[in-house]
A = this chain, B = another copy of it.
Amino acid sequence: MRTVAVDAMGGDHAPAPEVEGAVAAVRERIARVVLVGDEARVKQELARHDAAGLDGLTVRHASEVIRMEDHPAVAAKGKKDSSMRVAFDLAKERAVDAVVSAGNSGAMLACGLFVMRRLPGVERPGIVTTFPTVNGVCALIDMGANVECRPETLAQFAVLGAVYARLLHGKPRPKVGLLSNGEEQIKGTELTRGAYKLLSAAVEKDFEFVGYVEGRDIFSGDVDVVVTDGFTGNV
């Protein structure tokens, strides 16, 4: 069973829903959980669920909290004992396999960059969201982490999205589409046309590049991954 660090202080109503979710996940044997945050407040919540000594559920104290209004990079660098940053420290030490937070998404990205660093060949992290389709699911990347992208960034998102679809959605060779305003190759912007060229030229891919797709194709079930910049993805 995997172990997940949960930022107990990140959400708008923290730590109540974070603790409730962690207790449910451990009781249902979905994962082991390390709740990271103000120990006294987290233990108070755990007591409400009769989960003080629950096997597979531990608490790791962190004295600071990154707030929604904090500047992402400043907070991620400065608040070294924040619940979010400590959760990433646990991942870096391989004490946990993943980090979950409902907090400041920019700080989440910054903590990831500062603590975990980047994989070789990946310049920027991207936010993935899974959408329901008529016959399954589709992963959309980037949902808003990178407002301004280069063609190379989109090409890397295609690789990241394909890995995600393979490991998380169980699709051995995902179909990857590039979001555009029409399916013909002449459509799109300078950015999408540059990414189209890179993705068409790539060899030995673990995915199938199907070319341009339109907004409706996110839901059509025809592609497994849709790649776009963070501005369009967020909209």
Contact = CB atoms under 8 A, between A and B. Distances in A.
A184 to B, nearest CB: 10
A86 B187 CA distance: 28
Interface string A175-190: 0000111100001111
Give the copy number: 2
Nearest to A191: B231
Contact of A231 (B144, B181, B230): B181
A203 interface: no
A147 interface: yes
Contacts of A148: 189-190
A215 B189 contact: no
B147 A181 contact: yes
Interface in A158-213: 179-182, 187-190
Nearest to A181: B234
A232 B234 contact: no
A67 to B, nearest CB: 15
A188 B232 contact: no
